[in-house]
Chain A
Amino acid sequence: MDRPPVSRGFRSTRQASEATRLPPGQYLTTDFPVLSAGPTPEIRVADWKVGLQLGGSLLGKWTWDEFEALPQSKITVDIHCVTKWTKFDTVWQGVSFDDLLRAAGVSEPPSAYVMAHCDGGYTTNLPVADLVAGRAMIATRYEGLPLAPAHGGPARLLVPHLYFWKSAKWLRRIRFMPNDEPGFWESRGYHNYGDPWREQRYDGD
C-alpha cells in the first residue's frame, strides 16, 4: 500500500500517554456523546422486560425487579465509537452475559450468533464468543447511577471490545441464531464485526 500523503502543516496535539490506548483513527473525549438512529424512547422500568430467545421459545425472561436481583458485575473499560471518539475508564454495572445464561439454566450457548433486539426496532448481531467469558454485560448503571435514556437506559448491552454501536441501547431481547445475519447498522454500510483495533468501521474494512 502507498504511504498516505503528509498533510502539510498538520501536527499532533495528542499526549504520548494516550497513544497506546487509542485504536487507530480514534481521538480521546472526556464527555459522553450520544449517537442513535432515531428518537430516544421513553421506557418505564415497570413495563420493562428482557428476554433470551431461541427460535420460537424463550429460554428466560426477566422483569426489572427480577433482573435487578441477578448477580451484579462492575467493570471499568475504555469505549470506542465508530464516529471516532474514545472514552477512557468508563464505569458500568449490570448483569454479565455469563450470569444471564446461568440464570436461564443454559449451560452451553445453543448457537454461535445472537441478534440483540431493542426498543425502536434497532438490532445488532454478535458472535456468542464475544459475549461470554466476562466479555459483555447488560448494563443498567453508568458511573454508579441509573443509565440515562439517551445512553440506552434502562438497560443496554455493553460489549466494550467492539465499536460501541454493538453495545445496543434499550435492549429488550437477545435471540440466538444458527447463522450470522446483519443487524441494523450492519445492513447500512457498517462492518459486520466492528473491531476497533483493526479499524473495522465500514463494509469491507
Chain B
Amino acid sequence: MTATDALPQQPRIAWQTGRVHAILDETSRVKSIILEPATWSGHWPGQHVDIRLTAEDGYQAERSYSIASPPEEKLLTLTVERVDGGEVSSYLLDELRVGDALEFRGPIGRHFIWSRTRGGPIFLVAGGTGITPLMAMLRHRRRSLAHTPASLIYSVRSLADAVYRDELDAMAQDDRDLRLVYALTREQPSNWSGHWGRVNEMLLANNSFAREHDPSIFVCGPTGFVESISSMLVKLGFDPFSIKTERFGPSGG
C-alpha cells in the first residue's frame, strides 16, 4: 500500500481555457478580468482559481486569484493588482486583451467560504485587494436577496485605491442590513468624516456583531494587516475558530 491510495480519489480539478470577455480598470494598479469559462459548475463565494501562463518555449507560471463574482453569474471576475516585478500580474494587466484565451482551473478551497445557507451575520475586514473574495460574498448576499446582517471594514490608502467603490457605496446606500466603513490610512479628503488611519480595536468593536450572534468573520489582506486584525479580534473576545483568514504574501506575483 502506498501513502496516496489510502483515501478515495477525488476527480482532478481540470485545467480549462476561458476567454477574456472584458477587462475593467478598477484603480490605477488594479483591473478586473471578466472571464468566460468553457465549463463551470458554480463556486462558493471566497474560492479562488489558479491561472497558468505558458510561454513559447514551454515555460509556465501559475498564480492564484480570488473570484470576485458571485455564483449567480456565469462569467467569472478575477481582480488583479500589479505586483512590482511580478511576471504574472504584469502580463495580465499589460498584455492580456479581450478575446484572448486564458488557461485556468477551479474553483479551489473550502475553508475561506461563505454562502447564505450559513446564515449570518457576517463581519468582513479587507485590506487593499483583500476585498476580492469578500466582494464575492457581498455580491452573493445581494443577488440571493439574503438579508443577512453584514458589516465591511475596508482599509485602503486613499479613496482612489478602493476597488469596487461605486458598487459598494450603492449596495450600502439602500440596504439597512449592510454597514460599510472605510479606513483611509494615508490620504483623506478634506471633508472626510470617516475613519483616519489604520484599523484599530475601537473601529472593529464598533462595527462588528455581538459574540452571541455568532458572526462569521472573514479577514483578507496583506500578511501584516491580517496578523494585526485577527489578533485584535481575538483580544476583543471573538472565538479564534470563528475567524477565517486569508493572507496575501508580500511577494506574490
Spell out A's residues near B (CB within 8 Å): 4-14, 24-25, 27, 29-31, 33-42, 83-85, 112-113, 120-121, 127, 129-130, 150, 179-180, 182, 184-185, 187-189, 192-193, 200-205
Assess A202 versus B108: contact at CB under 8 Å? Given A10-B55, A120-B240.
yes
Nearest-neighbor residue (CB-CB) of A19 within chain B: B59
Partner of A14 from B6, B50, B59, B112 at Cβ < 8 Å: B59
Chain B residues lying within 8 Å of A185, measured Cβ to Cβ, are: 111
With the chains together, A2 CA to B243 CA distance in Å?
42
For residue B85, give the distance in angstroms from its CB to the closest CB of chain A: 8
B87 located at the interface, meaning its Cβ lies under 8 Å from any Cβ of chain A in the complex: yes
B117 located at the interface, meaning its Cβ lies under 8 Å from any Cβ of chain A in the complex: no
Q: Is the CB of B9 within 8 A of A204?
A: yes
Q: Is the CB of B227 within 8 A of A150?
A: yes
Chain A residues lying within 8 Å of B12, measured Cβ to Cβ, are: 202-205
With the chains together, A154 CA to B112 CA distance in Å?
26
Looking at chain A's contact residues, the main secondary structure is loop
With the chains together, A129 CA to B3 CA distance in Å?
9
Partner of B6 from A41, A42, A179 at Cβ < 8 Å: A179
Chain B residues lying within 8 Å of A4, measured Cβ to Cβ, are: 15, 52, 54, 60, 103
Chain B residues lying within 8 Å of A85, measured Cβ to Cβ, are: 249, 251
Nearest-neighbor residue (CB-CB) of B251 within chain A: A29
Q: Is the CB of A7 within 8 A of B240?
A: no
Nearest-neighbor residue (CB-CB) of B232 within chain A: A39
Q: Is the CB of B55 within 8 A of A11?
A: yes
Chain B residues lying within 8 Å of A112, measured Cβ to Cβ, are: 1
What are some 18 contacts across the A-B interface (CB < 8 A)?
Answer: A4-B103, A6-B55, A10-B91, A33-B247, A34-B249, A36-B245, A38-B230, A84-B64, A121-B241, A127-B3, A150-B227, A185-B111, A189-B109, A192-B4, A192-B7, A200-B4, A202-B108, A204-B10
